Amino acid sequence: MMSDVLGITDLGTYVLGTVAIVLLPGPNSLFVLSTAAKRGVGAGYRAAGGVFLGDGVLMFLSAAGVASLLQAYPPLFLVVKYAGAAYLGYVGLTMLRGAWRRWRDRNDPATPRLIDAAEPAAMRSPFRKALVISLLNPKAILFFISFFIQFVDPNYAWPAVSFVLLGLIAQVTSALYLTVLIFAGTFLAAQFRQRRRLAAGATTGVAALFLGFSVKLATASV
């Protein structure tokens, strides 16, 4: 057990736990990977920016005690839960639509290969889309209230400093991991560029995962 560091009760355990949790696959990392595969490094980092902002907001709300309201008031949790599940389902269905178009037009060289031209304009901003995916995730809020907060010493004079340090560690870990995914995505894009069937199949798989996330979130309990 490490001694307190700026009000953090066990920094080593927190770092190890954060790395393990960040590496678990989820809708945020999957969206960044698929965005980079379809649109390149720049779009991948814009999506990552949305994830960083969303996670930062959730960390702030958790530190402010807002997340505990979801546990104290189940109806509020249900509203956030079903909104998040609906949006993840919408993302999954949109990806399925794109996969179908790629498969249908696989022999037409004039058809864009990596970006679905019929994708709604509101869905073409990877930053906004990633931000919404990140924010509409009540399980993430509950994670921050159960893991994030427990490492702050309640007797420390400046708890805000502790929360900021914990948040920076989580964000840096996430940034490193998402960077790996972004460059992995651009590598996949090169493989998909001349392989329409492979691209359509991969998009279908990602869409199925998003639909799975939606169902899992809709059936989650506090």
Residue 107: per-residue pLDDT: 53
pLDDT reading at 53 higher than 60 = yes
Least confident span in 119-123, 154-158, 201-205: 119-123
Least confident span in 45-49, 64-68, 76-80, 193-197: 193-197
Identify whether 114 is part of a domain: yes
Identify whether 174 is part of a domain: yes
pLDDT reading at 140 higher than 60 = yes
| Interval 62-79 mean pLDDT | 71
Alpha-carbon gap, residue 128 to 218, rounded angstroms: 22
Identify whether 2 is part of a domain: no
Identify whether 106 is part of a domain: yes
**Average pLDDT, rounded, for the chain:** 76
Q: Does the model's pTM come out above 0.85?
A: no
- Please state the domain count of the chain: 1
**Cβ-based burial of 2 (10 A; exposed 0-12, middle 13-18, buried ≥19):** exposed
- Greater confidence, 153 or 107? 153
Contacts of 48 (CB under 8 A, 6+ apart): 32, 130, 175, 178, 179, 182
Identify whether 168 is part of a domain: yes
Identify whether 169 is part of a domain: yes
Residue 133: per-residue pLDDT: 87
Residue 192: per-residue pLDDT: 59
Give how far the C-alpha of residue 42 lies from the chain's centroid of Cα atoms, to the nearest Å. Answer: 17
Domain residues for the domain of 74 are: 16-218
Residue 60: per-residue pLDDT: 86
Residue 115: per-residue pLDDT: 43
Contacts of 221 (CB under 8 A, 6+ apart): none
Identify whether 1 is part of a domain: no
Model pLDDT for residues 90-106, shown as the tens digit of each residue: 777 877 776 677 666 65
Identify whether 129 is part of a domain: yes
